[in-house]
Structure 1
């Protein structure tokens, strides 16, 4: 896995829009950066930096239906990935400011979906109103080998489902090989 992490370089490890199940999806920006660039000094992040881990982030949009965010973070070991997941899960989350956004509910932990290729999954959802329509964001944090994958799917409540997010994350995990 160490060779794979180093081979990622600055290439974004997130799926291309055309590789996502469902859709059609359009990529809405992406970037890579050295893991831990945000300033974390946890032992897991320190070891990830030592192996030159590169975090990948990409946003997507399924026009008129949903927005998707995927983040891929390689760690030095499966144990570090689990610790990294716990650290990521504990970070404060904010909803992006958007005209028409109101009644943002609390982030609520829910039973996670089953996601093939992972050893640990945590999930949460958050309800909100967008332009007067009931909407929500579904989020999963999961460990696949030495990597943490975070994915969030948001949109009108009737348009997004946990099986859809699980299928997307399974495709992302499979692409990591």
Structure 2
């Protein structure tokens, strides 16, 4: 089979791949509603780093799902499988280095700098890094809490955003623990 044939076959296999992110009903707290999801070949953005190249060779499929807790918070979870736990740890550094943008929203202002914070304890994760970004939405102080966790050979990225008093690190840690448990549960 030609390399183009293998590429097309890998892309076809990734289409419709099972999304490994939590179902809305399985996200702690809430109630949460799923607001969109997709799967795609890891590295589809064109990264040529060694860890992404190995993930692509292993036919890694990245899962993404967005959720909303009406009137309180928005949540984003991404699961990126790597070829090994060591690659996943290196992948955290690469993912943290990617540029981040806030979605455009009427009423969004005073977006602060993303700053590294002490990560929460997350059962089931081998390594956790965390950051926080303040902003004002419709005149209310808000923030986004983001964590990058290594779970086996995967990296789980989760971002929880909403009014400053409504989103808390223990809540995000509980969500990450549920996602880690789902990834390590036998299928």
| TM-score interval, smaller chain | over 0.9
- Residue among 105, 110, 121 paired with 1:103: 110
- 1:174 maps to 181
CA apart distance, 1:16:
0.4
Alpha-carbon RMSD: 1.2
- 2:128 maps to 121
Write the distance in 2 (CA, Å) between the matches of 1:64 and 1:23. 11
Write the distance in 2 (CA, Å) between the matches of 1:84 and 1:49. 13
Residue segments in structure 1 that go unaligned for 5+ positions in a row: 1-5
- 2:95 maps to 88
- 1:63 maps to 70
Residue segments in structure 2 that go unaligned for 5+ positions in a row: 1-12
Could you list the structure 1 runs, at least 4 aligned residues long, displaced by more than 3 angstroms after superposition: none
CA apart distance, 1:73:
0.4
CA apart distance, 1:156:
0.2
Write the distance in 1 (CA, Å) between the matches of 2:139 and 2:115. 21
CA apart distance, 1:123:
0.2
Write the distance in 2 (CA, Å) between the matches of 1:27 and 1:118. 24
Q: TM-score, normalised by structure 1?
A: 0.95
CA apart distance, 1:87:
0.2
SS of 2:53's equivalent? helix
- 2:19 maps to 12
CA apart distance, 1:42:
0.5
After superposition, the C-alpha distances for 1:9-46 in whole angstroms (9 at most, x for unaligned) are: 71100000000000000000000000000000000000
